[in-house]
Amino acid sequence: MHALRREWGTHLHAADVGWEFPVTYGEAMSALLTRGYLTVHHDPKQPKADLPMPWGGSAVTFTPEEIEAAEQALKRRSAIRD
């Protein structure tokens, strides 16, 4: 029984970790890669695609402070300087 709780893709695992539906590890990684690709190549004039994820809402929210910190870190590491 313990092995089923750890096995991705089972309803028992999904219920144990609070997911809305079960997915295999490969399905979850494919969905995350797809979300990353769509984020990078998104046309700002088009509405964003909403991919269903088993762990709930797909909207990732960041505070203004987190966004500022990420932008500063990117500027420090960037080879392109203003």
What pLDDT is recorded for position 4? 63
DSSP string, 18-61: T-SS---HHHHHHHHHHHHHHHHT--TTSPPP---BTTB-----
Task: Give the type of residue at 16.
Answer: D
What pLDDT is recorded for position 75? 87
What pLDDT is recorded for position 28? 87
The mean per-residue pLDDT over the stretch 5-9 comes to 76
Supply the mean pLDDT for the chain: 81
Burial code (b: 16+ CB inside 10 Å, e: under 16) for 13-36 equals: bbeeeebeebbeeeebeebeeebe
pLDDT digits (tens, 9 = 90+) for 17-50: 888 888 888 988 998 898 888 888 888 888 887 7
Q: What is the pTM of this model?
A: 0.55
